[in-house]
A and B are shown apart, each in its own frame.
Chain A
Amino acid sequence: MSISPVTIVCYLLGISAVVGLNAVILVWLERKVAGHMHFRYGPMEVGPHGLLQTLADGIKLLGKQFLVPDAADRPLFLLAPVVSLVPIFVAMVPLPLGETLQAWELNIGLLLVVALGLLNTLGILLAGWGSNNKYALLGGSRAVAQILAYKIPLLLCILTIIMMAGSYSLRQIALAQKDGWYILYQPLLFIIYIVTITLETNRSPFDFSEAESELVAGFHIEYSAMGFSLFFLAEYSYMFIAAALASILFLGGWQGPFLPGPVWSLLKLYGIIFLLMWFRWTFPRLRIDQMLHLGWKILLPLALVNFLVTAGVLAL
């Protein structure tokens, strides 16, 4: 109740800046990583090493026309990009990127971020349904099947970490790793978590709802111009949030020697994002049944066993 409107506006501006800049950098980085993994350079023309390419693309998208198909369910179609983007602004609030760089220290921050991360699927479902297009609908229903497969392992991972740190607060969890990062105690859990966030952010090899080789563009097939860019912003911002969460839960957040806190958190965060990109350009897309097999028969039992063993060790 003591936060003034000015502060709130400043936070909103800061978060918007993070969302925008992050997307600009990540799109560029993705194309660079993809290029170099294919023995190409990626974008080279706009700006030094193509750094401004995303900006040019963004301006181009701004100038395009936003079309709503006649047969689309208009309110749902228009609502979908907003529904996928808005939770991001809330989810970024409790993320601590430094000792003092945090919008709001919330004692249930971790739960908030995870809960809002799950809302991404709703946006995809809305878009898939509202477009009234067979590919979009298939993409939407695949996203729903996917969330059921990864949600429980994801929550089990988070529960284990909460148990170890004894707090829901992201800041407290990071501070609890002062003496040793959790990745050292829980390497298996880290791997499970990375797989689940790959599932959560709908990235290859789990990009079922987009699946350009099967569903053309999946849920965002009917979106043009800014509708499309909002989905892109949302996708890359979810990557940012998921990677930031991974760096806080397993790599001690902003803590590290020599360098200042924010630099460390960005290093860790973009390291994890690079890992996700590395996955994307290495692994072919799974079949749906293989993904369900992975989620229910491999990740879930492993996460459960890991959870029980951790609980046992902590109880002793």
Chain B
Amino acid sequence: MFASFVHTVYTLAFATILLLVVGGALLAVTARNLIHCFFGLVGALLGVAGLYYNLGSPLLAVMQVMIYIGAVCVAIAFGLTLTRKQGEEGMRPLDIKAAIPVVLVVAMLSATLKSLAGREIVASARKIDESRIGWMLLGDYLLPFELISILLTVAVIGAVTIALINRRI
């Protein structure tokens, strides 16, 4: 009785997370109002944080909230509040070009699932200490880590350059 109650609660929690991810993502791509899209994105990212937690990595979940919602989304919101124009001008949110990423995603997902078929999937096999992640990032995976940093720096420089060009004209 008691155990089944707990089970129901966990199931409900998981269902909520799934709803957040899927619903948020759908809202983000289909809503006509930009700010609705934005909050759909926030919901989806929050749901992904919940998924990480469910997979046994609270650190990743918190980082997801801090970086994606606390930083990326806020930066997007900053852009939205500064550059938005009234009304829904421009393209319809869904047109034929949207099919390209859909096809790509479906292809990639089916390939992944195919490779996983027949294997047993165990969530959170073992707990990894946070400090080990740090050591790994600064040891074995130093090169990818630094490459990502360079990518980000290049992106920032590019953004600044574009902004400067627009300003001079």
Contact = CB atoms under 8 A, between A and B. Distances in A.
Instruction: Decide if A and B touch, CB cutoff 8 A.
Output: yes
Contacts of A118: 65-66, 69-70, 74
> Number of contact residues on A: which range applies?
20 to 34
A119 B65 contact: yes
Contact of A108 (B35, B42, B78, B130): B130
B139 interface: no
A140 B78 CA distance: 10
A122 B65 contact: no
B113 to A, nearest CB: 29
B75 A168 contact: no
Interface stretch (A12-20, A145-153, A247-255, A293-301): A145-153
Interface in B112-169: 130
A5, A106, A119, A168: residue with the most chain B Cβ atoms closer than 10 Å: A119
Interface stretch (A29-37, A109-117, A235-243, A308-316): A109-117
B26 interface: no
Interface SS majority for chain A: helix
Contacts of B9: 5
B35 A111 contact: no
B58, B62, B69: residue with the most chain A Cβ atoms closer than 10 Å: B62
Contacts of B42: 122
Interface SS majority for chain B: helix
A119 B75 contact: no
Contact of A116 (B35, B65, B78, B81): B65
Contacts of B65: 115-116, 118-119
Contacts of B73: 122
B70 A151 contact: yes
Contacts of A126: 39
Contact of A111 (B66, B69, B71, B78): B66
A115 B39 contact: no
A108 B58 contact: yes
B82 A151 contact: no
Interface of A: 5, 73, 76, 79, 106-108, 111-112, 114-116, 118-119, 121-122, 125-126, 129, 137, 140-141, 144-145, 147-148, 151, 168
Given A73-B33, A118-B66, 18 more contacts: A76-B35, A79-B39, A107-B130, A111-B62, A111-B63, A114-B66, A116-B65, A122-B73, A137-B81, A144-B77, A144-B78, A144-B81, A145-B78, A148-B75, A151-B70, A151-B71, A151-B74, A168-B130
Interface of B: 5-6, 9, 33, 35-36, 39, 42, 58-59, 62-63, 65-66, 69-71, 73-75, 77-78, 81-82, 130
